[in-house]
Structure 1
Amino acid sequence: MPDLHGWITQQVDAAEAYALDHILNPANALRRCEADRRILNRHRLNPDVHYEPACLGCGTYGDMELSETENLNDCPELLDLAHAHGITPEILATLDQPVPPPRPPRPEPRVTDLNALVRLMSAKPTSSAPAALRGPNWRPGPA
């Protein structure tokens, strides 16, 4: 069974096919199908959120841009649209949970300048510097 978005898409496809085959002047029905497709296009799985199946159309909130709707099946717009297409609580209970998009692969770390790393790791401590270069207020740390 598809998730809520997929179920509504199936209903819109069926309504469009019915309008084209059985209605003499299907312009109104086709406009409604187009409006439903626009809502479905806006309220879809957010491709940038990989930890939950969030709705892109519902937006985010707060400084951390958390998803307003954490599960696409709970999107109020899609639930209203599904109600218009005759969804029942029984059908809603059998729908699959949406799966978040896979996390993109992490980029490889940059190659560092090995010479700079060697110089940094082999730097001598300040105590090995001549006294004239250490400054007048220098004291050796606890040993």
Structure 2
Amino acid sequence: MSATIKYDDVETGQQIPAADYPVRRVNLVMYAGASGDFNPIHWNERFAKTVGLPDVIAHGMYTMAQGGRFVTDWAGDPGAVVDYSVRFSSMVVVPDDDEGATITVSGVIDQKLEDKRVLVMLTARSGDSRVLSRARAVVQLA
């Protein structure tokens, strides 16, 4: 975990450096167990392809969680996120190989708000696709 970010140390327009989150099939199986979402499109390649998908895809909420992880890692406080919302714009396709997929998340301080809060706009990509759109978090800083 990084040091806690202070409100006085950030500025509107400031970029938050990107972070990569690898995704392997085993991560999806573990997430299925934790979430109770055992839809076979998230673990069974044959099934995923029979319903028209290119391959197994990550759970949307798993993808969303990586954006939340990015913000809490940056803020240095897992309880710092006051509000968080996204729209799902594309799938994270997870091939069954050693590389799997990668979700790359970056951010920018969009606004400094009252009470030492900031609005962070996020960008999340996997391969050439933007996988989250309208991703935003209100973060309480020290």
TM-score (norm: length of structure 1):
0.24
Indicate the structure with greater helix content: 1
Structure whose CA Rg is larger:
1
| Relative contact order, higher structure (CA 8 A, sep 6+) | 2
TM-score (norm: length of structure 2):
0.24
Indicate the structure with greater strand content: 2
